[in-house]
Amino acid sequence: MTATDPHRTAVPSQASELVSTLPGRYYTDPAIFAREQEHILESRWFCAVRSADLARPGAFRTATVGRESVLVCRNRSGDVRAFLNVCRHRGAQVCTAEAGEVRRSLQCPYHAWTYDLDGRLTAAPNMADMPGVDRGERGLIGVHVREWLGYVWVCLAPQPPSFEETVRQAVARRLDDEEAVERYGAEDLALGRRIAYDVAANWKLVIENFMECYHCGTIHPELTDVLPEFAEGYASQYYVGHGARFGEGVAGFTVDGTAGFGRIDGVTEEQDRRYYAVTVPPQVFLNLVPDHVIVHRLFPLAPDRTLIECDWLYSPDVVDSGADLSRSVELFDRVNRQDFAACERCQPAMSSRAYRDGGVLVPVEHHIAEFHSWVGEMLGEAEL
Amino acid sequence: MTATDPHRTAVPSQASELVSTLPGRYYTDPAIFAREQEHILESRWFCAVRSADLARPGAFRTATVGRESVLVCRNRSGDVRAFLNVCRHRGAQVCTAEAGEVRRSLQCPYHAWTYDLDGRLTAAPNMADMPGVDRGERGLIGVHVREWLGYVWVCLAPQPPSFEETVRQAVARRLDDEEAVERYGAEDLALGRRIAYDVAANWKLVIENFMECYHCGTIHPELTDVLPEFAEGYASQYYVGHGARFGEGVAGFTVDGTAGFGRIDGVTEEQDRRYYAVTVPPQVFLNLVPDHVIVHRLFPLAPDRTLIECDWLYSPDVVDSGADLSRSVELFDRVNRQDFAACERCQPAMSSRAYRDGGVLVPVEHHIAEFHSWVGEMLGEAEL
Amino acid sequence: MTATDPHRTAVPSQASELVSTLPGRYYTDPAIFAREQEHILESRWFCAVRSADLARPGAFRTATVGRESVLVCRNRSGDVRAFLNVCRHRGAQVCTAEAGEVRRSLQCPYHAWTYDLDGRLTAAPNMADMPGVDRGERGLIGVHVREWLGYVWVCLAPQPPSFEETVRQAVARRLDDEEAVERYGAEDLALGRRIAYDVAANWKLVIENFMECYHCGTIHPELTDVLPEFAEGYASQYYVGHGARFGEGVAGFTVDGTAGFGRIDGVTEEQDRRYYAVTVPPQVFLNLVPDHVIVHRLFPLAPDRTLIECDWLYSPDVVDSGADLSRSVELFDRVNRQDFAACERCQPAMSSRAYRDGGVLVPVEHHIAEFHSWVGEMLGEAEL
């Protein structure tokens, strides 16, 4: 940290105080989780699938969003559509596979009700005997869709919040720059590796963990070797617009600090040799380094279980070249495993009388309180 | 379908309308399932075990009826008796095996309280020191029993509904013939094969599936080959008294339409070359074809789990001859697997917001609404 | 039983009556179990770990006490300390291993908050930036500790009940002798064998089973061979101060009645060739025989699950000699398996309508009613 690094001066006030976390029940109570499903996961923009995984018209993916199975597909015009994955006739899941491809229509395999790729009911057996059936009214129930950063974001609310305000601007504010994230061109990158983690911890523990770096010195030896400032406990998210600087002798963001790949086109000199992290609540982590982007999508499944899909994205020429990605991937894969183990170690204690009123945030963790306020606001609670 | 087939003219009115199913919560809510256990499974006549499985005095079987383990046995006089499977002393299960045979008495293996095959307490250690104990009062708690079609039906209600009205006449009404089912002489048939299916779906989904044939064209290729009219979507249960006719070139009710076995004595010319199906709510399906009878017994275990035992019954001389039953059994075994997979595909969607108010019944499924009304009536609900 | 055995004359009154047990819901209802966790398991003295398993300063064990994970360790002075196993910072479990050893301090592996072996917060990263943090206030939350019979007993209540009255005197009253249990010198014995049993039954079923011997004639052939009076159904706990006498030809408390080991120093002539049993509610069974002591600790985990650790303790010279303990251990290991199978056989019936009002206690089981009264008293219920 030097005087030439202005972003690292915006320190919260009351820095020497301890601030309370959420009470333990917020991490264990099924009723609170149900309210989070309704008011957060099914009401906010939710990053469901990678656009490139829907390569052609007819390609589909299913994703768990809150309590719902959502069917995301690409229509004949090449646009992405999303629906509740439930046939309007007798309620069979239209697609049960995680991924697949159809030709022109989605057909329920129970009674063959058939929908086009925009969700319209187009055919059903004995349809001629049902002149009164309004095909428009009986189509698959649509879900709002946006594409950004190469991902399909869905929102199950009838009136979604502003995507611009709650997603794009939220990221811009964290990075203190409207254009910063765009420069990595994530929508043009190629998937180098995807790893799924099944974590026995509440989703909020995973978010809190990602937001702070007070634990970095204790559990992330490889990461602090690459980003020495992390050993001091200050996460890049502690600041606005700060990217943690690579260590002097570090050649790249790899498990052993050896060289990675060429800088992504568009990444600026200022962004080079830095690691930026952004949390997009409720369920996305963006990790930006010069030669790749790592995107975490969290799928909260139960109060004590979160599925996490992590994508490592590289320039297409890197992936196409068949280059060895292993040292590049292994750095954050280790970080993930170290983090998720820590979260799983916290989960059982959330129900202890010792955590009835929660724990504490030390000064370098104070920004987590903003997340807690956001949760409270979403749940309609003035004070948590 | 021809003018000579009068049973196929009784079509419900309003045939072109869509009718609502039950709301989704009826298939998922543990509280509704608990009420079904109390007011349906433990209050109606329940087909528990096959009589022939209690071959001799002392033979017993245990069966799960609603929330209870029921012990069914044959007494010294050769009559069938049934009891709650709970020792009156300290509550050990008297028999834990699914089936077995005792000599003269049922002895609890914990403290050796001993009951005769009519449930009377006959002995217990230190009985001499307990002169005040009324052995009559401390016997196993009996359960009402009837035998019909070669099965033992039990009822856990203190005042059972009329077996004649709610079981025998219900079957007769469906078949439009007092004697129709009796002609298959199910009580004299022999068990050729029994297959148990553990299905991850609510019991009512299984019943609804069995009642309609709108799905037959989609999921039952072998069945519609044998019964071509099923491809039109009209189940035999759509009508009163109708048996679906075998296809022209079909020799028997087998997986490939090859010949089955000789017609069961008693089966009439009118019944020959036809498949009749009857649903006896809450948990029995009867399938009648000229050379065999298939009986499904459903054991609902949880809102989303149903165990199903399916028996294939043949004339004793067929079974004794060691004839190859495989093509005969395979037809409905395939149908079962196709059906139960469809039910399992519906179960997850029952909790979706898309199914909050249920789905719809198309005209050829309208008779399922009678089952829904029956459920509502049993649960004491005027309207569902 | 002879006239020279005065202890066996204290028979409860109303001996020929049947007395009710607890209603079935006491063994199945999660709400009742939660109240038992709070008002019994987390409020009474609970025997957590064997002292000798904390051999040196820095040794620790974790134990489940009610809903809490408790961390028990030996401090630098050699004293035992116990804490809620929850870091005061963000709630990670400080130790997740069942057993281990640290040098000087307990360090949370998430953010490296560090506590000494008396629970005081001694260090944390960035501590210098937090001058307002009161280290005393932020220590591990302590739990009351006592050592007796070579075990560490903990109590999670802020104001524990008297250990003297509720544990030591309770044992003395059962044995009708202040010194009886001390003569076995359990704190100086060595662990010969430990076996853990995972039992699918409510903890109270396990206690009731241990208290009575009405079942001994039915399920414990090896035990009644060694203690013939048990075949009569009278448990040693039926009386005050009674020890069941070894059979005439029995040489020792072994699975086949062959000789065991030399009498423990301190055991009196009167205690020789006898088996004494004491239940220390809520979760300890003591079994005293001339040459060893068997201690059961119950860990109730759910309404229908109890983990049981059973220790066989011998004179250190017996253990050190490498003597074959197998026949000695096998006797009670068999008894345990026989008993726990019986308890598991009762558990499913606890939810039957046949057990809605409970079962009955025969005269030789009447003393179990005292345990039921104690449970009711702990739960604040005048009448159960």
User: Which residues are CB-neighbours of C269 under 8 A, at least 6 positions away?
Assistant: none
pLDDT digits (tens, 9 = 90+) for C347-369: 999 999 999 999 999 999 999 99
C68, C85, C112: residue with CB nearest A218: C112
B221 touches A at CB < 8 Å: no
Q: Do A93 and B362 touch (CB under 8 A)?
A: no
Task: Report chain B's terminal Cα–Cα distance, integer Å.
Answer: 35
What are the chain C neighbours of A238 within 8 Å (beta carbons)? none
- pLDDT interval class at B130 (50, 70, 90): confident
pLDDT digits (tens, 9 = 90+) for B45-60: 999 999 999 999 999 9
Q: Do B214 and A126 touch (CB under 8 A)?
A: yes
A27 contacts A205 by C-beta, under 8 angstroms? yes
Query: What's the CA gap between C187 and C284, in Å, rounded?
Result: 15
pLDDT at C383 over 60: no
Q: Classify A244 as helix, strand or coil.
A: strand
- pLDDT interval class at C304 (50, 70, 90): very high
Radius of gyration (C-alpha) of chain B in whole angstroms: 22
pLDDT at A1 over 50: no
The overall longest dimension of chain B from CA atoms, in Å, is: 78
Predicted local distance difference test score (pLDDT) of residue A136: 82
Which strand (E) or helix (H) includes residue C288? strand C284-289
B233 touches A at CB < 8 Å: yes
pLDDT at B6 over 60: no
Predicted local distance difference test score (pLDDT) of residue C8: 47
B321 contacts B335 by C-beta, under 8 angstroms? no
pLDDT digits (tens, 9 = 90+) for C133-159: 888 899 999 999 999 999 999 999 999
Region B330-336: what's the mean pLDDT? 98
Predicted local distance difference test score (pLDDT) of residue B290: 98
Predicted local distance difference test score (pLDDT) of residue C45: 98
Beta-strand relationship, B68-74 and B105-107: unpaired
**DSSP at B271:** T
- Residue in C113, C121, C269, C123 with CA at minimum distance from that of residue C183: C269
Domain coordinates of chain C in residue numbers? 19-42+178-378, 46-147
| CA angle in degrees (0–180, nearest 5) for C117-C120-C123 | 100
A13 touches C at CB < 8 Å: no
pLDDT digits (tens, 9 = 90+) for C184-220: 999 999 999 999 999 999 999 999 999 999 999 999 9
pLDDT digits (tens, 9 = 90+) for C319-347: 999 999 999 999 999 999 999 999 999 99
Predicted local distance difference test score (pLDDT) of residue B10: 44
Region A25-53: what's the mean pLDDT? 98
Q: Do A132 and B15 touch (CB under 8 A)?
A: no
Q: Classify A179 as helix, strand or coil.
A: coil
For A114, the closest chain B residue by CA position comes to B218
pLDDT digits (tens, 9 = 90+) for A41-93: 999 999 999 999 999 999 999 999 999 999 999 999 999 999 999 999 999 99
Predicted local distance difference test score (pLDDT) of residue C382: 60
Homologous superfamily of domain range C19-42+178-378? Naphthalene 1,2-dioxygenase Alpha Subunit; Chain A, domain 1 (3.90.380.10)
Other C-beta atoms lying within 10 Å of the C-beta of residue C254 = 23
**Interface predicted TM-score (ipTM):** 0.93
- pLDDT interval class at A6 (50, 70, 90): very low
Query: What's the CA gap between C384 and C370, in Å, rounded?
Result: 12
User: Which residues are CB-neighbours of A207 under 8 A, at least 6 positions away?
Assistant: A279, A281, A282, A298, A371
For A109, the closest chain B residue by CA position comes to B218
Residue C49's DSSP bridge partners are C152
pLDDT at B1 over 90: no
User: Which residues are CB-neighbours of C128 under 8 A, at least 6 positions away?
Assistant: none
pLDDT digits (tens, 9 = 90+) for A257-304: 999 999 999 999 999 999 999 999 999 999 999 999 999 999 999 999
pLDDT digits (tens, 9 = 90+) for A341-375: 999 999 999 999 999 999 999 999 999 999 999 99
Average pLDDT, chain B: 94
What are the Cα distances from residue B305, in Å, to B204, B308, B344, C322? 11, 10, 9, 53
Predicted local distance difference test score (pLDDT) of residue A383: 52
B158 touches C at CB < 8 Å: no
* Nearest chain A CA: its distance from C128 CA (Å): 9
C198 contacts C224 by C-beta, under 8 angstroms? no
Nearest 10 degrees: Cα torsion B230, B235, B239, B240: 110
pLDDT digits (tens, 9 = 90+) for C1-39: 333 444 444 444 456 789 999 999 999 999 999 999 999
Predicted local distance difference test score (pLDDT) of residue A131: 83
The model's pTM is 0.94
Predicted local distance difference test score (pLDDT) of residue C14: 55
Q: Is the dihedral of CA C113, C116, C120, C122 positive or negative?
A: negative
What are the Cα distances from residue C314, in Å, to A82, B318, C264, C310, C318? 70, 68, 8, 13, 6
What are the Cα distances from residue C109, in Å, to A214, B141, B313, C130, C142? 12, 58, 65, 20, 20
A86, A129, A131: residue with CB nearest B354: A86
C37 touches A at CB < 8 Å: no
- Which residues in A175-201 are b (16+ Cβ under 10 Å) and which e? bebeebbbbbbbeebebbbeeebebeb
Residue C254 in tokens: 């072994």
Percentage, residues of chain C above pLDDT 70: 95
What are the chain A neighbours of C89 within 8 Å (beta carbons)? 359-360, 362
Nearest 10 degrees: Cα torsion B217, B223, B225, B228: -60
For C201, the closest chain B residue by CA position comes to B92
Query: What's the CA gap between A104 and A114, in Å, rounded?
Result: 10
B16, B24, B346: residue with CB nearest A131: B16
Q: Classify A40 as helix, strand or coil.
A: helix
What are the chain B neighbours of C338 within 8 Å (beta carbons)? none
Region B190-206: what's the mean pLDDT? 98
User: Which residues are CB-neighbours of B207 under 8 A, at least 6 positions away?
Assistant: B279, B281, B282, B298, B371
B278 contacts B295 by C-beta, under 8 angstroms? no
pLDDT digits (tens, 9 = 90+) for B268-295: 999 999 999 999 999 999 999 999 999 9
Neighbours of chain B (3+ CB pairs under 8 A): A, C
B89 touches C at CB < 8 Å: yes
Predicted local distance difference test score (pLDDT) of residue B11: 47
Query: What's the CA gap between A299 and A282, in Å, rounded?
Result: 10
Query: What's the CA gap between B59 and B75, in Å, rounded?
Result: 8
For B112, the closest chain C residue by CA position comes to C218
- pLDDT interval class at B128 (50, 70, 90): confident
B353, B355, B366: best mutation site toward chain A, by most A Cβ within 10 Å?
B353
For A46-147, give the CATH class.
mainly beta
